[in-house]
A = this chain, B = another copy of it.
Amino acid sequence: MDKTLKLTDNHAAWLRLETMIAVMERSRNLELARIGTNIPQASVLYCLKISKDPMTPMRLARMMHKQPHTVSALVHRMEAQGLVTTKKDMKRKNWLRVSLTKKGEEVLKKWVKSTQVPDALNCLSEQEREMLYTITRKLHAKGLELLRQMQRDPYSEPLFW
């Protein structure tokens, strides 16, 4: 059986990126496990913390660029763990409002101090860090453009810019 696969330069670069991200996310999840959380949960807590408007699972899904059913399941697990509460919206009965609990706030405080994996960025030179900022911005914008092409429901709510 032929073991080779001809990949384009872009495809090969993309795979290297995917692999690096898998390694970094695995270490980030191990770091966050020490404070009893993980990357998706911390994203939910952070979105709830910084949002000025009431948060619904659908809005969370848009901010996190995840599928709504994935985020609904996540929110329900987090509610069972006491990190968030959900409440039916008084005006729109089919809307669920998600809020941070005191326990969620406590985890978030520990998360702010857990920076071992983010501090891996210190291995880059000043020039590389600046370039990473530019590259991340460009790819983020390009990714949003691709999403708009690929699906009807636009993911139009930028989170961290």
CB distance from A107 to the nearest CB of B (A): 12
Determine chain A's interface SS by DSSP, over half rule. helix
- Copies of this chain, complex-wide, total 2
- How many chain-A residues does the 8 Å CB contact rule pick out? 71
Q: Do A17 and B128 have beta carbons less than 8 Å apart? A: no
Q: Do B116 and A146 have beta carbons less than 8 Å apart? A: yes
Q: Do A132 and B13 have beta carbons less than 8 Å apart? A: yes
**Contact A65:B128 (CB < 8 A) given known A5-B50, A16-B136, A118-B10:** no
**Which chain B positions have C-beta within 8 A of A117?**
14, 143, 146
Cα A39 to Cα B14 in complex, Å, equals 12
CB distance from A45 to the nearest CB of B (A): 10
**Which chain B positions have C-beta within 8 A of A15?**
46, 160
Q: Do B118 and A65 have beta carbons less than 8 Å apart? A: no
Q: Which residues of chain A have a CB within 8 Å of any CB of chain B?
A: 3-8, 10-27, 30-31, 39, 43, 46, 49-50, 52, 64-66, 108, 112, 115-124, 128-129, 131-144, 146-147, 150-151, 155, 159-161
